[in-house]
Amino acid sequence: MADKATSDEKRLAKLKHILKRIRDKETVQNRQLRTWLSKEAYERFENERLEQQELGKMLKNKPAQIVEYEQRLKEATFSYAKADAVSRAGGRHKLAQKMSGASDTQFERLLEFLAEIMYADPSLEMWFDRNAIFDATNSPHTSAEEFPCVITSLSLRNKKGGILNSKRTIKRLKEDAVEREIEELTAELVDNNLILERLAAGKKIVQLLKR
């Protein structure tokens, strides 16, 4: 047990060094992780890496409904911006009113379209940065601000929700894997030290009884 404890302490020190390198944004090769992580820990890292690859592929292939929603939101937002610009300029009240009405209609139709696709396939909500199911109490108004963004949007309004909550970088995966191994190894060493201390105490008691 003492030899194993020494080996584990060496591995723990190495893992802490690797963790520091990852956090310092230095390159840590997968083969280094394979060497110093346990077999189970490295397999978990590999599975998570493959899952992230699949997630990345999925993000590049948005469903047709989501693509159409994006286009409709873009058009409605553009119409709203034009109507707002004319309204702010002043002097063209009737035109501003007409453009504002057209923009409102686009957002109303957008809301109807969103309700239709969400009713047909509730799983589409993972493509939005926030709640995409509305009722009379939380229905968005006729402006872009309250409509959900598609998670791949570059808009500053994008809250990065949905399946992006599951997206992690390779650096984050490596860091998580090493952190978990350090925690588990530290706990194991503490338990082993307690056992060794109890064994040592037991030997002392036996020696005292023999006197």
Residue for token pair 């040592």: 200
Rounded distance, CA 126 to CA 162, Å? Answer: 4
Between the alpha carbon of residue 179 and those of residues 39, 105, 107, 152, the distances in Å are 15, 53, 47, 29
Give residues with Cβ within 8 angstroms of 195, minimum separation 6.
1
Check whether 195 has a pLDDT greater than 50. Answer: no
How confident is the model at residue 191, as a pLDDT? Answer: 58
Check whether 2 has a pLDDT greater than 80. Answer: no
Tens of pLDDT, residues 92-134: 778 878 888 888 899 999 999 999 999 999 999 999 988 888 8
R_g of the chain computed on alpha carbons: 29
Rounded distance, CA 76 to CA 173, Å? Answer: 39
**C-alpha angle with apex 117: 115 to 123, nearest 5 degrees?**
110
C-beta neighbour count of 153 within 10 angstroms? 16
How confident is the model at residue 208, as a pLDDT? Answer: 45
How confident is the model at residue 72, as a pLDDT? Answer: 95
Note every long-range contact of 195-199, with CB atoms under 8 Å and residues 24 or more positions apart, other chains counting: 195/1, 196/1, 196/2, 196/5
Check whether 197 has a pLDDT greater than 60. Answer: no
The mean of the pLDDT values for the chain is 83
Check whether 199 has a pLDDT greater than 50. Answer: no
Check whether 198 has a pLDDT greater than 80. Answer: no
How confident is the model at residue 86, as a pLDDT? Answer: 79
More reliable by pLDDT, 159 or 200: 159
Nearest alpha carbon to residue 55 among 174, 180, 158, 165: 165
More reliable by pLDDT, 18 or 202: 18
More reliable by pLDDT, 205 or 37: 37
Q: Mean pLDDT across the stretch 134-155?
A: 81
